[in-house]
Structure 1
């Protein structure tokens, strides 16, 4: 929690075992290496020392001035070239490893929240960003690879390859062929099939899915996002669109309180009547009333042929 926050004060007052500070300048999407990510990982028995060591090693590799030797800069340049510097193509992430199932979702937030910006650093309207989607290679193999190969060319693919299948004995799918062999074949086969049709792809390979390599992989993408932000002249470390959504949600909660205050017993009122009374948008009021009637047993709804004529009341 933040130093001096209500939770921090409560913990201090009650003598809690430990408090782990957070800072306002650390965004949620870049907090994996902070207490936000490390404390839960440590409690689950994850090797956070090697995780941080991998991230630190990638930090060193991504500070190299020669872009040809800088993996994060090369990745950012590939994104830039694929989308003409304007995010014209979506990024499809296909990790061929069950342990990386959630990595695509992580990249959705990291990339889209960081790069999806209306204004650049000069205040010009640019509407930048890269849309990211994906699940895992073995699943997506049967979901949308058909469109990737033969459909609209509005994407580029990122394959994430893990060389080592497992530490335990391999599962034999058929004689002398393991499930890992199939995954490797699917990755290489899909990559080749897309290449035949001129579909662009990037392949990121790691030796195995261990703590060190996962830390390095996350650090690689964090740095690539920062470099791409510089290439297109945007601030990759704020999220005004998210803040706008939070403010809108706060306004809606206040509207809900206002609507509830106008409900009474008897024959009830329509959404239009309540909206006029509190000077609010009738559609917003209608949806608030529908929500209340579905979840608060005290709020009653008298349905009519037209939904706009439905009447809402408060049970006495």
Structure 2
């Protein structure tokens, strides 16, 4: 662990939060943090209560009834917990059942049912997973995402692609053997984006039987019998296997539940390591010492930066292509958790930072001009990976070209890090706040640490801002307008 003077909090795993460009003279100061002491103590107590009981002051479900918040339970695999030894074993068994038997999985989900799953896919699989051979994928199927937008063209393109894949397999002497598993993720089964595209693809692919063989897995509310939701009842009627969208876990926190872990199972990702990283972060964040608690420190510094210094935009900028989806996941987490019109007492506060996705070095050539010379209303949050599994040396293939020759003989990771450091230094030299989250390597364990720290941070910040970080009433406004208009189209 670090002291507050070092301005870099490092955990035993090597995961670090370097906040030196966010804290100190000309930035958020020690006295700013000290002035927040009473609120920080109350926030610590509130998070401890949430962790122990699931109770969050004033939190209600969208139907107005008290609702527990249980995402802090998810890293702990134990009997009676949302993730139990039996549920994890079942996920792994499901993943194993796909190996060398299923050609493609299509997952349908939106919001947390898509964004978290895409993170796991990107970090574990990378961009070219579906172009690899079955052997290179260790027997696991190709994986596609749909249901995250109501896009007629892309849905039609995916149907055509799967049919073409099935025909190609038939040409190579394996007729009627192409198997597709559709994983539909919706707590209620009434999610327009997810269910509409699922029904289109399900119908189109069923019409191609026996060229393709279709199976469906539903991830939905676990209630059974008369209490089952629309998708739950449909799964019962059709005999589809089911996994759970647990009560008490909002979509933006569901990556640690079966909602996200079902994708991890489909690609052979190390579920145990991912949850272990989240658990280690949760344990590190149980201390009341703010300078040793990454989630509380992150929340406090950014709360003060926004409220006292006007930095109410957060640019989340990982220096890794395969972490762009983490930035997209974080946009939902921050926007839905902290973008709130009213305080817990109902007073209008219009709280919340606006989150923005960026990627280094890509957006140094796109957004950084605005970050560096635009309004001083931003905190830029970098993410750095220390050790890369693959790391090429830039070769001196054009020695006669001095400008190219001078960048030879260094690793790509070194060039990437120099770019990030230069960006960070240029920003802080002009009093533009930034911080860096440092992952020792890009693997399931450290990913679990990172995502859990960010999730817990919004819980702390909700307490500091006195807003409910676990509801999303603004989302209901457009839904109330959309429903009747969709029904009118059928007339």
CA distance in 2, matches of 1:119, 1:22: 28
1:163 aligned counterpart, secondary structure: strand
1:61 is aligned to: 284
Q: Within the alignment, does 1:8 sit opposite 2:241 as a pair?
A: no
1:100 aligned counterpart, secondary structure: helix
Q: Within the alignment, does 1:210 sit opposite 2:433 as a pair?
A: no
1:158 is aligned to: 381
Corresponding residue to 2:477 among 238, 244, 255: 244
Check conservation: 1:93, 1:104, Cα contact below 8 A.
Answer: yes
Q: Within the alignment, does 1:38 sit opposite 2:261 as a pair?
A: yes
CA distance in 2, matches of 1:15, 1:252: 33
Q: Within the alignment, does 1:199 sit opposite 2:421 as a pair?
A: no
Q: Within the alignment, does 1:94 sit opposite 2:327 as a pair?
A: no
CA distance in 2, matches of 1:116, 1:144: 23
1:204 aligned counterpart, secondary structure: strand
Distance 1:116 1:86, change over 3 A: farther
Q: Within the alignment, does 1:131 sit opposite 2:379 as a pair?
A: no
1:167 is aligned to: 389
2:248 is aligned to: 25
CA distance in 1, matches of 2:331, 2:462: 16
Report the number of matched residues: 256
CA distance in 2, matches of 1:51, 1:123: 38
TM-score by length of 2: 0.50
Summarize the alignment of residues 260-279 of structure 1 with structure 2, pairs less than 5 Å apart.
261=491
CA distance in 2, matches of 1:197, 1:112: 27
Corresponding residue to 2:418 among 185, 194, 213: 185
CA distance in 1, matches of 2:431, 2:413: 27
Q: Which moved more, 1:120-129 or 1:79-88?
A: 79-88
Check conservation: 1:87, 1:129, Cα contact below 8 A.
Answer: no
> How far did 1:6 drift?
3.5
Q: Within the alignment, does 1:176 sit opposite 2:406 as a pair?
A: no
Check conservation: 1:161, 1:206, Cα contact below 8 A.
Answer: yes
1:266 is aligned to: none
Cα RMSD for the two superposed structures: 1.8
Check conservation: 1:117, 1:234, Cα contact below 8 A.
Answer: yes
Structure 1 segments (4+ residues) deviating >6 Å: none
> How far did 1:85 drift?
6.3
Provide structure 2 residue ranges, at least 5 long, that are not aligned to the other structure: 1-219, 396-406
Check conservation: 1:105, 1:135, Cα contact below 8 A.
Answer: no
> How far did 1:240 drift?
0.4
2:307 aligned counterpart, secondary structure: coil
1:295 is aligned to: none
Distance 1:240 1:146, change over 3 A: same
> How far did 1:133 drift?
0.3
1:172 aligned counterpart, secondary structure: coil
Q: Deviations over 1:58-80 (max 9, x none)?
A: 11111112222111000001111
Corresponding residue to 1:140 among 335, 345, 363: 363
> How far did 1:86 drift?
9.4
> How far did 1:84 drift?
1.3
Larger Rg over CA atoms: 1
2:338 is aligned to: 115
Check conservation: 1:55, 1:216, Cα contact below 8 A.
Answer: yes
Distance 1:14 1:147, change over 3 A: closer
1:207 aligned counterpart, secondary structure: strand
Q: Deviations over 1:8-58 (max 9, x none)?
A: 334345544x42122343211111111110001210121111001100111
Provide structure 1 residue ranges, at least 5 long, that are not aligned to the other structure: 262-316
> How far did 1:163 drift?
0.6
CA distance in 2, matches of 1:220, 1:187: 22
> How far did 1:117 drift?
0.6
